[in-house]
Chain A
Amino acid sequence: MAHGKDESKEFVNHFINLFKDSPDSAVIFDATSNEILHGNNTFQTVFGTAAKNIKDLVAKDDLTAFDVFKEELEKKSQAMFNGRVTTAAGAPLDAMFRAYLLKGKKEAISFIIDVSSEARKREEESQKKWIDHFERLFANSKDIMNLFSMTQRKILRWNPQAAIAMGYSKDELSNVPIEKIYPPEELLKLGASFQRLAAEGFSEEKLKIYRKGKDLGDIWIRSFVIQYEPEVLCLVHTIDITEEKERERVLLKETRLAALGEASASLAHEINNSLQSIQFNLYLLKEEKARLPDDCFKRLEKIEMNVTHIGSVVRNIQNYTHFSRAGKTNVFLSSIIESAKQILEGYVANRQIDLVCDIEQNLPPISVDPNQIQQILLILMKNAIQSMISTPLRKLLVSAHREGDSKIILKLTDTGSGIPPEVKKNLFESFVTTKPIGVGLGLGLSVAKKLAVANKLDMTFTSEVGLGTEFVLTFTMESPEAGKEEAPAGFVLLYVDDKDSLFPSFESFLASKHITVIRSQSAKEAVKTLVNNHVDLVMCAENMYPVSGHAFLKEAANLFSGPICLMRDVNNPMPTGGAGPTEIPKNVDTLDYPCEVENFSNKVNEMMAKIKVGEPV
C-alpha cells in the first residue's frame, strides 16, 4: 500500500508539472470526495485559491449532470461533461470538463475548458446570418414575423409590419416584455406550443394578444425551427385574425338571434294563448269573490300576479328578437319624447319620480323610425326610473339641444344607483343586468343599442355608482348637400318581385335618390305592405308565382292610388287572352325588363315627377 501511494504521488506530481502553464484550467481532485488537491495557475486565477471542492463550483442546475459524469468517470476511467460553473468573481462560465482517473484510481485530473466565449462566438455568427436573412426576406411582408431564439428564450427580431399591427413603434416593440403582449392564460398555451415546437419542429396555435391602445386581438401563430445547432432558432409567422374572429362571433350571434326570434314568435303565441285562458278563468273566479273564502281569494291574486309576470317576460323576449327594418320618416324629436312621456305617466307618478323635460324650441325634424326611437326612450327611461327606486333623490332629466348645424343631442340624466364598473364594460350585451332577479332580463339595453345602430345614431353613457347615470343619444342630420338633390328625400318605393336577380343593380340608384325601398317577395306580402306602410310609388313584376302582378294590381287598386309600374318580363311574357285578365289599367305604367339601370331610373324619375306636380295621388 505504502509503495503504491508513493507511486501515485509521483504520478500526480508529474501531471502538476506538465500542466503548470497551460492556458486551460487543470485540477487534480479526489475522485471520491471531490476535494481539490491541486489546481494549476489558470485554475487559481479563474476559481481562486480558496476553492475546496470541485462540486461547489458547479451551478445548481447542472449538479445532476455532474453526478452522472462522476459515475461515468468511475466506470470508464474517463468522462466528459458540459455545464455551467461559477468563477471566483461570481460570474457564470460555460465550461467543458474532460477528466481522467489517475493511476490507483483515487485521484482524477480534469481540465476545465472555458467554452463560453467560443460558443457565444459561434452562436453570434449563426444568429447574424439568420438575422440578415430574416430582415431581407420579411421587410415588406404584410404578416407579422419574428425570429425567436429558443435557447435564449428571446425574440431576436420583429419585421416592420409587426410594430404596425401591434400598435408600437419599432424601438418600443423590441423592448416589450412578453407578459405585455400575451395575457397570462395565453402564455401557458404558448409554453405548451413551444414544447411541441422543440419536439416536432413545428407548432401552431390561435391566441389572444394585447395590442397597444386597442382591444384584445386574435392571432394565428405558426412556428418552424430553422436551425438546431449551435442555438435553436425559430421563425414565427403570425397572422392577425381579429376581424375574422369578430365576424365569426357576430355571425354566430346573429344566427342564434334569428333562430331565437323564429322560435320565440311561435313560443310566445302558444304561451300567450294559455296565459290568456288562465287569466280569463281567474277573472271569472274573482268575480265570485262573495262566495270565496278570504284566503282563497288572496291565492287567486297571487296567481294573477305571476301570470302578469310571465306575460311581461314573454313580451321582453319578443321585443328582443323582433326587429322590423327602420322605416324612416321625418319627425320631431319633441313629439316622440312627448308620447314616451305619456306612456310612462302612470309609471312615473306611482314611483314619485320628478320627470323634467328640457327640450330646445324649434328643433329641426330628424329622419328616424319614430316607433324605434320611442322604444329606445322607453327602455332608457324605465331603466332610469327602476334605478331610482331606493335613492333619496328621484329626478329624471330629459334634455334635447342642437349642437352645431348637424347634430341634436338628447340626454337622459338620472339620480339613480349608477352602473358598477364591472358591468359597464359589457352593458350593451344581452342578459347583462343590475336589477334584482325577476325585475329585468338584461335585454333592454341591448335592444336599445341595436335600434340605435339601425337608426344610425350614436349612444353613449357615463355613470357613477351612487350618483346616477347619463345616456347621450346623438342624432346626426344629413348634410345640407344631400337635401339639394332634385328628388325630395323620403320617398317610399314598394318593389314587388318574387325573383332576386335584378334588384341589386337598381339599389345604388335608389339609394342615390334617397328613396326608401320596401321589398316584397310576393303579391300577398305586397298587399300587406300597402296596408301597413306608407308607400309613394310601386314597381311590380308582372310574372310572379302564385299570384301574378295583374292580380296584385286589382288588389292594390283598393288600397293605393299613387303611381304604379308593371315590369313586364320580355323573356317570359304572361299569356294574353283566355288565360286570365291581363289587360293593363290605363293609369298603370309599364317597363320592359330585364332592363338597364338607366331605363329603370328614367321610369322611377318619371313616376316621382307625377307625385311632385301634384297629380291625383
Chain B
Amino acid sequence: MNSQNTPRSDLNGVNILIVDDSDELREILEFILKSKGANVDSARDGIEAINKAQASKYDIILMDMRMPGLDGNDTAIKIRTKSEDIKIIALTGDVDGEKFLRKESPFNAYIAKPIDPANLSVSIRKTIGS
C-alpha cells in the first residue's frame, strides 16, 4: 500500500497491452504503468487488441471484460488461439472472479475492479513469472 515500498521502476522493460473502451481509464492506467518503467501500448476494443497482439509481441495483456462489440472473453479466446504463451489478465467487476482461473478460461489471472494501483505491479510480475 505504501508508495515507498513499490519502487517506481519495478516494471522496467515489461511490454504491456491495455485493452479498455474507457478513454479515461485507459489513459490513466497507461500513465501509471509507464511511470513504473513499462512499455505500454493500448487498444480501445477487441478488434484493435487482436490486431495489435498479432503485430507486436507483448509480455502481458490487461483486458477489460465489459466492452461493446467483442467482449473481453471473446477477444482473449481469439488472441489465445494465435499465441498460446501470451499472458492475459482479466480486469473485471464480476463478483465471480474465480471463473477466470478455470482450466478452460483463456485468462491467466484476474484483477478485481476497482483495481488497487498499489498492488498492480505485483499482480503483473506474478503473472509474468508464472
Q: Which of A299-352 contact B (CB under 8 A)?
A: 307, 311, 315, 318-319, 322, 324
A282 to B115, CA, bound (A): 12
Supposing A269-B66, A324-B96, A534-B104 touch, asked if A275 and B114 sit within 8 A by C-beta, the answer is yes
**Chain B 24-36: CB-based contact to A (< 8 A → 1; otherwise 0):** 1100110110010
Judge whether A276 is part of the interface by a CB distance below 8 angstroms: yes
Supposing A283-B118, A289-B3, A530-B104 touch, asked if A315 and B95 sit within 8 A by C-beta, the answer is yes
Q: Which of B3, B66, B105 contacts A287 (CB 8 A)?
A: B3
Q: Are A272 and B3 in contact (CB under 8 A)?
A: no
Q: Are A280 and B113 in contact (CB under 8 A)?
A: no
Q: Are B102 and A272 in contact (CB under 8 A)?
A: no
Q: Which residue of B lies closest to A287 (CB)?
A: B3
Q: Are B73 and A531 in contact (CB under 8 A)?
A: yes
Q: Are B105 and A280 in contact (CB under 8 A)?
A: no
Q: Are A283 and B32 in contact (CB under 8 A)?
A: yes
Supposing A531-B105, A531-B106 touch, asked if A283 and B117 sit within 8 A by C-beta, the answer is yes
B94 / chain A contacts, CB cutoff of 8 Å: 318
A283 to B22, CA, bound (A): 19
Give chain B nearest CB distance to A358 CB in angstroms: 26
Q: Are B25 and A280 in contact (CB under 8 A)?
A: yes
Q: Which of B73-102 contact A (CB under 8 A)?
A: 73-74, 77, 81, 93-96, 98-99, 102
Q: Are B81 and A273 in contact (CB under 8 A)?
A: no
A268 to B93, CA, bound (A): 8
Q: Are A276 and B73 in contact (CB under 8 A)?
A: no
B98 / chain A contacts, CB cutoff of 8 Å: 371
Give chain B nearest CB distance to A270 CB in angstroms: 10
Q: Which of A212-270 contact B (CB under 8 A)?
A: 268-269
A319 / chain B contacts, CB cutoff of 8 Å: 95
Give chain A nearest CB distance to B63 CB in angstroms: 14
Q: Which residue of B lies closest to A315 (CB)?
A: B95
Q: Are A276 and B104 in contact (CB under 8 A)?
A: no
Q: Which residue of B lies closest to A314 (CB)?
A: B93
A530 to B105, CA, bound (A): 9
Of listed A283, A289, A371, A534, residue having the most chain B CB within 10 A: A283
Give chain B nearest CB distance to A300 CB in angstroms: 12
B96 / chain A contacts, CB cutoff of 8 Å: 322, 324, 371
A283 / chain B contacts, CB cutoff of 8 Å: 32, 117-118
A531 / chain B contacts, CB cutoff of 8 Å: 73, 77, 104-106
A4 to B96, CA, bound (A): 110
Q: Are A280 and B73 in contact (CB under 8 A)?
A: no
Q: Are A528 and B25 in contact (CB under 8 A)?
A: no
Judge whether A284 is part of the interface by a CB distance below 8 angstroms: yes
Q: Are A528 and B93 in contact (CB under 8 A)?
A: no
Q: Are A280 and B93 in contact (CB under 8 A)?
A: no
Supposing A284-B32, A371-B96, A532-B99 touch, asked if A276 and B105 sit within 8 A by C-beta, the answer is no
Judge whether A286 is part of the interface by a CB distance below 8 angstroms: yes
Q: Which residue of A lies closest to B66 (CB)?
A: A269
Supposing A273-B22, A287-B3, A532-B102 touch, asked if A280 and B117 sit within 8 A by C-beta, the answer is yes
B115 / chain A contacts, CB cutoff of 8 Å: 276, 279-280
Q: Which of B35, B93, B117 contacts A279 (CB 8 A)?
A: B117
Supposing A276-B114, A283-B118 touch, asked if A558 and B81 sit within 8 A by C-beta, the answer is yes
Supposing A279-B114, A284-B31 touch, asked if A533 and B93 sit within 8 A by C-beta, the answer is no
B105 / chain A contacts, CB cutoff of 8 Å: 531-532
Q: Which residue of A lies closest to B8 (CB)?
A: A287
A269 / chain B contacts, CB cutoff of 8 Å: 66, 93
Q: Which of A273, A275, A281, A533 contacts B104 (CB 8 A)?
A: A533
Q: Are B106 and A272 in contact (CB under 8 A)?
A: no
**Chain A 501-541: CB-based contact to B (< 8 A → 1; otherwise 0):** 00000000000000000000000000110111110000000
Judge whether A361 is part of the interface by a CB distance below 8 angstroms: no
A85 to B118, CA, bound (A): 93
**Chain B 8-34: CB-based contact to A (< 8 A → 1; otherwise 0):** 000000000000001011001101100
A65 to B32, CA, bound (A): 94
Q: Are A318 and B95 in contact (CB under 8 A)?
A: yes
A326 to B31, CA, bound (A): 41
Q: Which residue of B lies closest to A275 (CB)?
A: B114
A273 to B66, CA, bound (A): 11
A528 / chain B contacts, CB cutoff of 8 Å: 73-74
Q: Are A532 and B104 in contact (CB under 8 A)?
A: yes
A393 / chain B contacts, CB cutoff of 8 Å: none
A319 to B94, CA, bound (A): 9
A307 / chain B contacts, CB cutoff of 8 Å: 114
Give chain A nearest CB distance to B2 CB in angstroms: 10
A315 to B118, CA, bound (A): 20
Give chain B nearest CB distance to A551 CB in angstroms: 14
A207 to B117, CA, bound (A): 58
Q: Which residue of A lies closest to B112 (CB)?
A: A315
Q: Which residue of A lies closest to B98 (CB)?
A: A371
A-B contact pairs, 8 of them (CB 8 A): A272-B114, A273-B113, A280-B25, A284-B32, A287-B3, A311-B114, A371-B98, A531-B73
Interface set of B (CB-CB < 8 Å, partner A): 3, 22, 24-25, 28-29, 31-32, 35, 66, 73-74, 77, 81, 93-96, 98-99, 102-106, 113-118
Which 7 pairs from chain A and chain B are nearest by CB? Answer: A283-B117, A280-B28, A272-B93, A275-B114, A276-B114, A318-B95, A272-B113
Apart from the given pairs A268-B93, A272-B114, A527-B74, 4 other A-B contacts in the complex at a CB distance below 8 Å: A272-B113, A279-B116, A280-B25, A371-B98
